[in-house]
Structure 1
């Protein structure tokens, strides 16, 4: 028998669904908030500690390295110890390290605390998605996951507001202190949660190491590799565009700082709309066809956008670009969670997406930067035109269509 068979939805179940999605949204918003805050405050931090550009790069990257480790660590713990308990540990670590970082006396201390911040943040995506997948009805899973994914963009917008208000008056240390407050709200809110019933049942059984489930058969191994590639392309596109496009607009199209800021806001708005639309499409027409169409369409939209010459059209077109480049985030919670059993769902969400983020988001912008050194930035970004069709082929040959299927729990089946 499989877990997740449809049953009448009680008021308690509806309440758990609402609490789960809000807890996950708040957590993933901390991820977006932290990434954007460090980009805004980095110049001030470098001035305080008299850092070279190379050491500034370490500050910008060290939390992402921690995120990679945190994704693995907290994914495993969430499957062993429980979703809610581990969810609480991850946000507490983030809040502690962020708050204490405001007191950092030197570069080394600040870098170490930023690494801890990343570890704490690393658990948020996978645990939140697992909670939502295990509490939401099967016909709404992708939409539930899309709401969580939007949290990241909410966090980036919140970072803009916090930095604008706090940085001029209290410096970067004040921004770090204020950054703790949303995490405290998330911690308090999570105290009202409880683990989904299917996960509670699994924890009473003896389990093997969660990561083993991702490679327990040829089909699962194929799906693990395919889903990893999809998430790597997703993060390659997102970070490639968001890191380098503002610079390209400034240098090649002569955008002012206000112009590039407006482009970021419009593109982010497009991303939010794209995520919600894609979550709806995954629930209506299926995961596989939605991703195939999205990847192929993105491969066409990117070169068309780069060919635009009118600054106003480029500005407004950023919203359309955002729909395609980041819309796929609306389906990853569902497609990852449905391919693996309850015993390893948080591990699968975090291990696969965390690895894709580490490779695509960590090395993609670096590769574009290296290519841009010998050609224009937009020409280097054209590399994205190649990877998206490959991702569409990967979807066709490695993942299954599991729309509307019940979630699997192996200990129940056996």
Structure 2
């Protein structure tokens, strides 16, 4: 595909803006996990209730991501990817500013729910735009850059939370989002979408994913291959203080530091996975490799008796590298479906994975109640989710270099 200098500049600008957008998205997505203990203690939650209250608030945020993924995904296919980017950023920016004024757990949870709705639109719309705008053999580089830069947003969140109050940390996230809106003014809708929008093709029809059996299971497998990612981030790392205590850590582990080092590792892993996928010309092989690395590093973590904060931070970095197949996972979802439902899929899939933390948390707590052991429960969930992910990966076709300029026919097959 020949591109003049103007179109190349537009693509570069698109990648930069999508990367910075995901940077702010990650900041706002993870700021609660980083300030969880400090903020909940400040509003009067007893120490004994910090873990479960934190799960409740995080699950509300994930529920917002679930709802927002559906809403923004459908809107992205019906009205354009650019409109979704503007609307989602504005909503989560205002919600984060409101978060600085909460004084009780229920209000906290409600505002995080609204923020979750807003956060749901950023990644899917950005990845869809990049995937549709770049050459089919090179789009992996674009999504790799978006993920690698975006994931570093956790460093900003950790640094801000460390030097400012937790309330001001939320304000900073909101201001960053509003500033990002100004950058969005310079990017354009993908030509692939514009061409499809001019036709009478049915667009953003969520029922198309459920009315056809083959399409439905392809969609479900896209979701299931990402579930280990959020179990590792949302439970194994976010609850590192509690897991560290069970491992006999001499000092209380800092969830904020652990998550920061993990996301640096994820960023490095995404770069490595992106290049490896380009070399192997396969995203499936890369995801298989990284799932096995994650299984190994997390098993080592759960068996590390007396782990110190410093060693935990380095281990979190290593775990993060293994979890760094996020960009490949989202790109596979984008490549599996036609232009008329691509934004719906690419927006809902990562957010359904994030929202899967809700049933994962419930099942994790169920095993804790049955086994009376947080480590045993973590092992059970780790192996269960990995097996499910690998099975689903085996059911998906390789889509590297697939031409994305096609539409899904509304064929019913139950």
TM-score range, shorter chain: 0.7 to 0.9
Conserved in 2, the CA contact under 8 Å of 1:222 and 1:399?
Answer: no
Change (3 A) 1:85 1:314: closer
Comparing both structures, which one devotes a greater share of its residues to helix? 1
**Cα displacement (A) at 1:18:** 1.9
Specify which of 295, 298, 308 is matched with residue 294 of structure 2. 298
What are the within-5 Å matches in structure 2 for residues 73-152 of structure 1? 73-104=71-102, 109-152=107-150
Specify which of 382, 396, 399 is matched with residue 399 of structure 1. 396
Conserved in 2, the CA contact under 8 Å of 1:303 and 1:385?
Answer: no
Change (3 A) 1:107 1:263: closer
**Cα displacement (A) at 1:141:** 1.9
Secondary structure at the aligned position of 1:177 is classed as helix
Conserved in 2, the CA contact under 8 Å of 1:287 and 1:331?
Answer: yes
Conserved in 1, the CA contact under 8 Å of 2:237 and 2:258?
Answer: no
What is the CA–CA distance in structure 2 between the aligned matches of 1:155 and 1:344, rounded to whole Å?
29
Specify which of 375, 383, 389 is matched with residue 378 of structure 1. 375
What is the CA–CA distance in structure 2 between the aligned matches of 1:70 and 1:306, rounded to whole Å?
34
What is the CA–CA distance in structure 1 between the aligned matches of 2:101 and 2:233, rounded to whole Å?
32
Specify which of 37, 62, 66 is matched with residue 60 of structure 2. 62
Encode CA deviations 1:56-90: one digit per residue, 9 max, x unaligned. 65434322211111111011111111111221011
Specify which of 324, 331, 336 is matched with residue 333 of structure 2. 336
1:3 corresponds in structure 2 to none
Note the residue ranges of structure 1 that are not aligned, 5 or more in a row.
1-6
Conserved in 2, the CA contact under 8 Å of 1:28 and 1:124?
Answer: yes
**Are 2:209 and 1:214 aligned?**
yes
Secondary structure at the aligned position of 1:408 is classed as coil
Conserved in 2, the CA contact under 8 Å of 1:42 and 1:60?
Answer: no
What is the CA–CA distance in structure 1 between the aligned matches of 2:256 and 2:114, rounded to whole Å?
29
What is the CA–CA distance in structure 1 between the aligned matches of 2:319 and 2:41, rounded to whole Å?
35
**Cα displacement (A) at 1:127:** 0.7
**Cα displacement (A) at 1:343:** 0.9
Note the residue ranges of structure 2 that are not aligned, 5 or more in a row.
410-414
Conserved in 1, the CA contact under 8 Å of 2:133 and 2:192?
Answer: no
Conserved in 2, the CA contact under 8 Å of 1:299 and 1:389?
Answer: no
- State TM-score, norm by structure 2: 0.86
Q: Aligned-pair RMSD on alpha carbons?
A: 2.8
Aligned residues: 399
What is the CA–CA distance in structure 1 between the aligned matches of 2:95 and 2:17, rounded to whole Å?
20
Encode CA deviations 1:99-153: one digit per residue, 9 max, x unaligned. 2343457665554333221111111121111011111222222232222223553
